[in-house]
Structure 1
Amino acid sequence: MSGGPLVIFDCDGVLVDSEPLAMAVLLEAIRAQGLEIDPGQGYELFLGRSLASIGQMLVEDFGVALDALALDEMRQRLYAKFRAELTPIPHVPEVVSRLANPFCVASSSQPERVELALRLTGLWDHFEGKLFSATMVAHGKPAPDLFLLAAGRMGYAPGNSLVVEDSAAGIRAAQAAHMRVAAFTGGGHARNKQHEARLRVLEPDWIIDDMRDLPTLLRRWP
């Protein structure tokens, strides 16, 4: 165990620039059920949440249900988009390859989706065996369960863990786990003042828009 903190990366919007692709597919599936939600509202409602959590919200708040067939079709469309268009977040490959701190990934997405995204972007070798998914816990983000699982499995206390997150749900989850959190605004969906404002009001420990700032932040820990 190194002297520095464990770094827990979210995946979508932090390691890979997948959020615009995923949101387009999700809103298309919702539209097919007769509900129109614009991308801005979609990001505010759904960003950072598991598909199970999104499905529950759609039923409870909008009376819309995505059945098993719709979910499978959505997953296949998303994976096709990933294969055609997915890229890593700028500078993530170089930063991760040189990071001295221990690190892992903790995502609301299913493990197979995270693995596919990391393989397609050349990042899988860095995270193999260090992948944690909301499917492994009872409650996804914004509950702290996933981050506490990841830290525990990696052998780190919450107070010696730093979460890098792009979503309000993820920031709340990190704070509920009593971990420090860096809000990341460098993803394709996050480069706007409205998104940063939604994160800033949650008072994360840091806000960064360039992954190259992460090593400097870690050198100043705590």
Structure 2
Amino acid sequence: MNRPELVLFDCDGVLVDSEAITAGVIRDDLALHGLDLSLARIDALFVGGTMAGVMETSRAMGAVLPDAWLDHIHGLVYAALEADCLPVPGIKVVLDALDAVGIPYAVASNGPVAKMDVTLRRTGLWPRFSGHVYSAHDCAASKPSPDVYLKAAAGVSPEKCIVVEDSATGARAGQAAGMRVLGFARGGPREKLTPHCASIFDDMGELPRLLGL
């Protein structure tokens, strides 16, 4: 396989081990607002989406959420991530391997830049991505739209980019952008990723090989 000219990483669940922390905060807060969901249901409904989508879906399911809920839940999530978020095991080795051969990389997330500022700084990854942090909040549409991946590609042809994703929503976005998508299945079922990914892997230790390094 030819090496890519650019590697684009999703953030939550790929670079930083944030999904379980965020899901727990959402679950606990929604329960206080009249919607009691299991963590498994939270994952199935919301992983890979936006907090605005969480709010819309939760209201439709019966949660009584104030109009200021987004600011409220972001504050709770950011505080929890600042306290406990860790890098995904093995991701620093992957970035070192990319640096060694001079392949650039960026992060493209459905989350806001403010959230990535918290998680990437907490995990020590911010200096690796500074200047190459892209949020769907700054695009016309969020994933599964390809907008944030096309913006992050910054002139590199899509066919020369590889996307690393852990959610079907994000994988669909990479696929729609015309990029090769590698699915990271450590945190969830492979079957959701399979239709949209060229390869599926469970351990970051496998990624350098898949990138042709």
CA contact (8 A) 1:50 1:134 kept: no
Which structure 2 segments of 5+ residues have no match?
Answer: none
Work out the number of aligned pairs and report it: 208
> Match for residue 48 of structure 2?
48
> Match for residue 212 of structure 2?
219
1:72, CA displacement in angstroms?
A: 2.7
1:109, CA displacement in angstroms?
A: 0.7
How do 1:1-222 residues align onto structure 2 when only pairs under 5 Å count?
A: 4-59=4-59, 61-64=60-63, 66-99=65-98, 100=101, 101-151=103-153, 153=154, 155-186=155-186, 189-190=187-188, 195-200=189-194, 202-219=195-212
TM-score (norm 2): 0.90
**Closer, same or farther in 2 for the Cα pair 1:131/1:113, shift >3 Å?**
same
Describe the superposition over 1:102-122 as per-residue Cα deviations: whole angstroms up to 9, x where unpaired: 110001111011011011101
Aligned equivalents of 2:65, 2:198: Cα separation in 1: 36
What secondary structure, in the 3-state scheme, does the structure 2 residue paired with 1:132 have?
strand
**Closer, same or farther in 2 for the Cα pair 1:130/1:66, shift >3 Å?**
farther
1:83, CA displacement in angstroms?
A: 2.4
Describe the superposition over 1:147-185 as per-residue Cα deviations: whole angstroms up to 9, x where unpaired: 11111x2x2111111110000100111111111100102
CA contact (8 A) 1:97 1:126 kept: no
Once the two structures are overlaid, the 10-residue window that deviates more, 25-34 or 103-112, is 25-34
Q: RMSD value over aligned CA atoms?
A: 1.8
What secondary structure, in the 3-state scheme, does the structure 1 residue paired with 2:211 have?
helix
What secondary structure, in the 3-state scheme, does the structure 1 residue paired with 2:205 have?
helix
Aligned equivalents of 2:97, 2:212: Cα separation in 1: 13
CA contact (8 A) 1:55 1:65 kept: no
Once the two structures are overlaid, the 10-residue window that deviates more, 40-49 or 18-27, is 40-49
1:57, CA displacement in angstroms?
A: 2.8
Aligned equivalents of 2:139, 2:104: Cα separation in 1: 22
Aligned equivalents of 1:77, 1:184: Cα separation in 2: 27
Q: Which runs of 4+ in 1 moved over 4 A?
A: none
Describe the superposition over 1:95-140 as per-residue Cα deviations: whole angstroms up to 9, x where unpaired: 2123132110001111011011011101111100000001111110
TM-score (norm 1): 0.86
Aligned equivalents of 2:40, 2:156: Cα separation in 1: 36
Percent identity over paired residues: 38
1:198, CA displacement in angstroms?
A: 2.2
CA contact (8 A) 2:168 2:196 kept: no
What secondary structure, in the 3-state scheme, does the structure 2 residue paired with 1:16 have?
coil
